[in-house]
Structure 1
Amino acid sequence: MSSLVSLSGDGQRALKPEELFEDAIAQALRGQKTSEQSRKEFVDKLKDRVSEAMKDNNPSFVRQVLDCLRVNCFKDMEDSNNSVYTWNARKSGLMAIGAVAIGLGSKVGDFLKDIMGLLLGPDSKHLGPFLAEASSDTESHRVRYLSCEALFNVAKIAQEELLPYLARIFDGLSRLYADVVADVRHAAQVLDRLLREIVTSHPEKFEVDTFAEEVCTRMKYKNPMIRQLCLGWTNLILQIAQVDLVGSNPKIIQGLFEHLADDHSRDSLQNAQNLLEQCIEKVKASPLATKRLIVFNTAADLAKNCRKEDSKIRFQSMWWLLEYVHFTPGYGPTTSVKDEEVKLWWQKWAEALPQLIDGVCCCIGCEDGKDLNGALLELANLLHEYLRVDELVETLKQRLGKLRDGEAAMVVHIACLQWICLLLVHRPQQMLQRKIVKELFMPIFESLNHANDEVVIASLRVLAQLMETTPSDQLGIEDLLAKESVRRADGAKEEPQKSLFTFIVDRLLEELEKQRDMLETRGRLMIHQLCGHLDPRRLFVTVARAIPAQEKNFAQKLVQTFNWILLTSAETRSLREELLQESERHPQLGHEGEKPLFLELLEPWFHNPASALALCLWSQQYELASELTGRCAAFEPTLDFLQQLDQLVQLIESPIFSRLRLQLLEPKKHPMLLKCLLGLAMLLPQAGAFQALRERMHLVQSSLLLEVRFDSEAPATATKSDWLSFSSKEGKEGKEKKEKQVDLAGLLRSFDKITQQRNDARCGPSP
């Protein structure tokens, strides 16, 4: 015992109890069993002795007392094999600490380090009685109770001077608050109330950062008593106006989210949610710069929360992130903000986006997740110059690589495609790097065969955006396309400088040719979407120029699908109007300039005679339509061909062709139209389409009777377009006009050649 050094650091040995006190106090500190009355006397005497020493300006006596307590009462606290004398000594020592603190009064601060060293222990390896592990021993229960009582007495005297030790005190308090012994729990609750009063009275000395970390650590514990304690202290922290939000809020927020996990207590959950609402309100009320620091100190943790299995944590985290987006200056209606602050917000959002997208993809299957993703997309539209393309692309690649079957994977797939499209809009040059094109865009073609139409629509939106992009440098992506895509009708390879638009059209046609059923099931959907996002004229002309290079049966189906969209879709209304305007203006086709749309489409449309006939009828080229109808008689009446003619009659009977039907009221003015429709009726079997067309032709008789009434007028001359003619007028004027007209006979020869090739391909070579 004599070899121990005093706490005062003067090198003197610690005195024994009997060297400092009379028998009553000495007996208690040596661990001898005493009565209740004796303990009270012992406490009073010790308190008086300490008080007298301070009045006599003798602080060394107090240090000797504390040294004596350390050596005789609190040695080997980690040893669980304690005798009854050891337990008694500890209990007496705890009572003595309270007596010393009361005796010191206002001077307690001078000795507080030594006192707290006895109660809490000098370090984490040597714990004092307040932090020592509990045991089931009855004496241990009493020691825990008295440690609360001793600390209460110290806190009552020390007040705000105790606050630097609050984090370590909370470590022990959280254990005692959930103690198995009711008396110990009650003592801990009394101590807890006192500590809260001290913090409330002296918030300026409250070291909230360190304390908040301790609270958040304890929030992970599932004991309801500990969680109740943590929620109470969190509420107190939020009520203190002087608390540094930047330092404390990130820790508190994450702690509250941890509290939501696996807590089946409705009241506890409600309290945690209420506190989270208080937190967000406190963030809202903060200055913009402070708000920015809080938002981006917690955004990463919230993104991680979105990946957790607990639904309560996920939903609450999504709501918080959505609120964060709304905090952003420049997003939605906001008050005037300095440009520098706005830039700081946008730069921080750009840094956080890759991690946020990864988190949102884990919970985007719910409505809240979709709302958050939509808000982030809107926000990203503001950040275009700050977007970190490489990091975002890497995140999207990883997410697309993890896709599996199911609705959740489908929603993630669509979200990733939306982000790719956004990056193409704002950072096209970076997105069109060869590596990104190969790794990110080429797999999009595979998405066109996805089971869900929404994925296909999103994929087409990306491809359309890619087609509209004009790269500053040559991409050199020819090798990313299959060899067939660079063939043309003459067998020559396409120039490597062809546009990205043409590259993608070629690749789309390849995909459709490889998977013919996709053209049947999704062809119209795909063309609808592309026409909605692109210039439909450019799309149709590009496809028309590519059709001669396609396999004949595929070309026929392709023309049939595109023709149906051309004549019926709202997205191609401008093309139909252009065809009519060309017809009405009678353009001089021999002049240099852009080739008329009708002539761009006509020869490729010959691969499907019914579609070519429909195109001629819409463009009011009735003479050519009549000639094509006559040539159709030479075709083998296959079921497919008859079905196409049936669809043509349905089109003629639809509102789209109301102009054509009204022209039947003037049969003398449009004889070739009448001849074409009569020829079409002769080709059809006597089924529904034939009956409909026959009824329409019966009405023409009434039109003829109507024209008889106006015989006194000059007979109407048959009109035909200046586009097409078998012969020209005599003279110089007629010769010049002939040079500017398209040779109808030549077109018909082209039609005969294409249809013969198609028949040969279908029937095989002649024997």
Structure 2
Amino acid sequence: MADALSVIPASLFRNLSDKLYEKRKHAALEIEGIVKQLASSGYHEKISAVINLLAMEFVYSPQANHRKGGLIGLAAATVGLTSEAAQHLEQIVPPVLSSFSDQDSRVRYYACEALYNIAKVVRGDLIIFFNQIFNALCKLSADPDVNVQSAAHLLDRLVKDIVTECDQFSIKEFIPLLRERMNVLNPYVRQFLVGWITVLDSVPDIDMLGFLPDFLDGLFNMLSDSSREIRQQADSALSEFLQEIKNSPSVDYGRMAEILVQRAAAPDEFTRLTAITWVRAILPCISDKEEKTRVVARETNEALRAIEANPAENFDVGAVLSIARRQLDSEWEASRIEALNWISTLLNRYRAEVFCFLNDIFDTLLKALSDSSDEVNFWSCFCV
């Protein structure tokens, strides 16, 4: 306290806690100038004392105006430090993060503003606090105060920019945060999460596809959201991932297949249709010209067929049969054989349902069987 007051007069601190915003802002500008001079002289111990006073006497004060002044003061000190701010972040950022849960909406607003101004100065050095910041932004995205929401959105965009340009971001550490929130129902949080998934997937050095099963089910959940905008955002993200799987597949096929089978039996029609679309995209890839794509398609297809859906669920046998029927006309034998394997699998599990659709596929089936080396195995399913 004494070290701080030796460089910053008590009158300045009084103005920092004034009820008038203009006085607080003017005091913060003075703090910025003083800290800048201290930094140029290398007096970092005195700077630490100033930051500590701003946190303990202001940000953690029971008085709302003190808390507001402390936040703007910490941001001002960071601006004064400029390139030397990184060494003081452990002092500066935690008090700001704690203010995101303040009961006063204006304090939460100023916390967003303060961290925004801090982030503009330190950029990538802020990554060490990413998990805490993400947690805070997730909550603030659904804040009851629209002004706080607006401020949080601005901060969120800046944090996304920083993450996309920073090579220190850890996707492995981020995925657990994302996974545990993917089944929330709040529409604002859902938009927030899809926004992050989309942004991170657009970064070439970040492999979101490799972690797809961790949040795939959550995206499918959002397809039945009451908000059309959220449904569209989730559908867009899923469509992009499906395209990526076709072009450069690298997913946990077993986990993904289990999710698709479960979603193919969802009560929501749009969700069922999307799940079936993913299944439909796999069969043609079995005959792809690229060996890697063929291998992935075959593994995923086998994983899908190996999973048994809950008999009590409304699994869409007709939709899967329709997909298989189209592939029976494929010019590639590998795709025709896999289509037959699918029909055979469905016969074993849903014999009565398959026979209901048999008239629709019988002619195509006979033609495919006449060209297929799998004929004996397939016909044996009818004879059981």
Q: Normalising by structure 1, report the TM-score.
A: 0.41
1:358 match: secondary structure: coil
- Per-residue Cα deviation, 1:155-201 (whole angstroms, up to 9, x for no partner): 1111122234334322222332332223212212222232233334x
Structure with the larger helix share: 2
Residue of structure 2 in register with 1:293 after alignment: 251
Q: 1:108 to 1:95 in 2, by over 3 A?
A: same
Aligned position for 1:102: 79
What amino acid is the match of 1:69?
A: L
Question: Which stretch shifts more, 61-70 or 156-165?
Answer: 61-70
The answer on 1:92 being equivalent to 2:92 is no
Report matched runs for 1:100-499 at 5 Å: 100-120=77-97, 128-130=98-100, 132=101, 135=103, 140-200=104-164, 202=165, 204-215=167-178, 217-261=180-224, 263-286=225-248, 291-293=249-251, 295-327=253-285, 331=286, 333-335=287-289, 337=291, 346=298, 349-351=301-303, 353-355=305-307, 357-358=308-309, 362-365=313-316, 367-371=318-322, 378-379=337-338, 410-411=352-353, 462=381, 464=383
The one of the two structures with greater contact order (alpha-carbon pairs below 8 A, sep at least 6) is 2
**Counterpart in the other structure of 1:44:** 29
- AA at the equivalent of 2:186: N
Instruction: Give me the whole-angstrom Cα distance separating, in 2, the residues matched to 1:15 and 1:413.
Output: 87
- Unpaired stretches in structure 2, ≥5 consecutive residues: 328-334, 358-373
Distance 1:22 1:360, change over 3 A: farther
Percent identity for Structure 1 against Structure 2: 23
Amino acid of the residue matched to residue 114 of structure 2?
A: A
Deviation at 1:413, TM superposition (A): 8.6
Look up the SS of the partner of 1:129 in the other structure.
helix
1:293 counterpart SS class: coil
Match of 2:11 in 1: 24
| Offset of residue 361 of structure 1 | 8.6
How many aligned positions are there?
A: 360
Partners in 2 of 1:114 and 1:377 — Cα distance? Answer: 64
Alpha-carbon distance in 2 for matches of 1:159, 1:253: 31
- Report which of the two structures shows the higher radius of gyration computed on alpha carbons: 1
1:192 maps to amino acid: D
Q: Does 1:64 align with 2:64?
A: no
* Closer, same or farther: CA 33–337 of 1 in aligned 2, 3 Å: closer
- CA distance 1:194–1:102, shift in 2 (3 Å): same
In structure 2, distance between residues paired with 1:414 and 1:368? 13
Distance 1:48 1:271, change over 3 A: same
Separation in 2, partners of 1:99, 1:22: 16
Structure 1 residue 145, shift from structure 2 partner: 0.5
Counterpart in the other structure of 1:637:
none
Counterpart residue type for residue 34 of structure 2? R
Q: What is the DSSP-based 3-state SS (H/G/I as helix, E as strand, rest coil) of the residue aligned with 1:151?
A: helix
Q: How far apart, CA to CA, are the structure 2 residues paired with 1:65 and 1:230? A: 37
For residues 22 and 81 of structure 2, what CA distance do their matches in structure 1 show?
23
What residue number does 2:371 align with?
Answer: none
Return 5+ residue gaps in structure 1 as ranges. Answer: 1-13, 76-81, 121-127, 384-391, 401-408, 416-424, 429-457, 467-767
For 2:230, the aligned partner's letter is: S
Partner residue, 1:53: 38
Matching residue's letter, 1:278: E
The answer on whether the counterparts of 1:43 and 1:95 sit within 8 Å (CA) in structure 2 is yes
Aligned residues of 1:145 and 1:187 also touching (Cα < 8 A): yes
Would the alpha carbon gap of residues 241 and 359 (structure 1) be closer, same or farther in structure 2, given more than 3 Å must change?
Answer: farther
TM-score (norm 2): 0.77
Name the SS for the 1:109 alignment partner: helix
| Mapped partners of 1:193, 1:43: distance in 2 | 25
Cα distance, 1:18–1:62 mapped onto 2, change above 3 Å? closer
Deviations 1:515-537 (A, max 9, x none): xxxxxxxxxxxxxxxxxxxxxxx
Q: Secondary structure at the match of 2:84?
A: helix
